[in-house]
Amino acid sequence: MEFSYIPIILSLKVAFAAVIIVTCSSIPIAGLMAKREFWGKDVVESIITLPLVLPPSVIGFMLLYVFGKNGPLGKLFEQWFHTRIVFTLAGAVIAAAVVSFPLMYQAVKAAIESVDQNLEKAARTLGARELRVFFTITLPLAWNGIIAGLVLAFARSLGEFGATLMIAGNIPGKTQTMPIAIYFANEAGDTGQASILVIIMTAFSFLVIYGLNRWGKRSQRDRNPEGGTT
């Protein structure tokens, strides 16, 4: 059977879209959780990180329930946009976003918390409002952690299998992403297609981890330069 590159394109589309959603949502949420105390914060935090430990089938089941034809959000989409989420690429994007959100959230929150609070205080004494402090001091100094979270979220989105299969299904050319294509190619005995995709995924994942480690070491060196003055 001829090799199909379409799963690679679909996977990249899903991962890019998921990372955009996750980045836009995790930065304000992580900022709020790192800086504010409120009642029930621990419960919210647990819910946010839950997808990290839940089996993908549980997440898939929940997403089907919420976005299904009779689910609360599924119905809304049907009425407002005359479109459905289940068995579409949008479903795959949602699944990828849900599972990668905790990774990004944790990285961003840790990065924001690691910013020296004296710098934020200094900005306040210089007349800055909270939003200006966040965008000009906290965020730029947390940038390394945010990029690390972004790369991890991208890799996790690319590799998402279980929840995606449940909500988006296995429709070749439409919702069949790389991990799903590998599973079904192997089931069908098409080891050629499966092994090429396996090699691509493994090489990519290796590059992500290797790159992050190298980059982490370098930025640590930059933060603690020997002989900090000239």
Partner 1 sequence: MLKAHFKKKLPTFELEVNISVRNGILALVGPSGAGKTTILQCLAGLQTPSWGEINIHGKTVFSSANCLNIPIRNRRIGYVFQDYALFPHMTVEKNVMYGKPSKGSNPNKVLSISNVLEMLKIEHLRNRYPKQISGGEKQRVALARALMTEPELLLLDEPLSALDQDTRSTLQQELLRFQAQWQIPFILVTHDVQEAEILGDQIIKLEQGKQKEI
User: For binding to partner 1 (CB under 8 A), which residues are involved?
Assistant: 116, 118-119, 121-129, 136-137, 140-141, 225, 228-230
Q: Using the minimum distance from each CB to partner 1, give the nearer residue, 12 or 139.
A: 139
* Beta-carbon contacts of residue 94 (< 8 Å; ≥ 6 apart): 63, 67, 85, 167
Q: How far is the CB of 209 from partner 1 (least distance, A)?
A: 27
Q: How far is the CB of 100 from partner 1 (least distance, A)?
A: 27
Q: How far is the CB of 27 from partner 1 (least distance, A)?
A: 17
Tokens of 103: 């990774």
Residues present in the chain in total: 230
Q: Using the minimum distance from each CB to partner 1, give the nearer residue, 1 or 126.
A: 126
Residue 167 near residue 103 (C-beta atoms within 8 A)? no
Q: How far is the CB of 126 from partner 1 (least distance, A)?
A: 3
Eight-class DSSP state of 136: I
Q: Using the minimum distance from each CB to partner 1, give the nearer residue, 57 or 136.
A: 136
Q: Using the minimum distance from each CB to partner 1, give the nearer residue, 111 or 201.
A: 111
Which residue stretches of 88-190 are H helix? 89-113, 117-125, 130-133, 139-141, 143-159, 162-168, 178-187
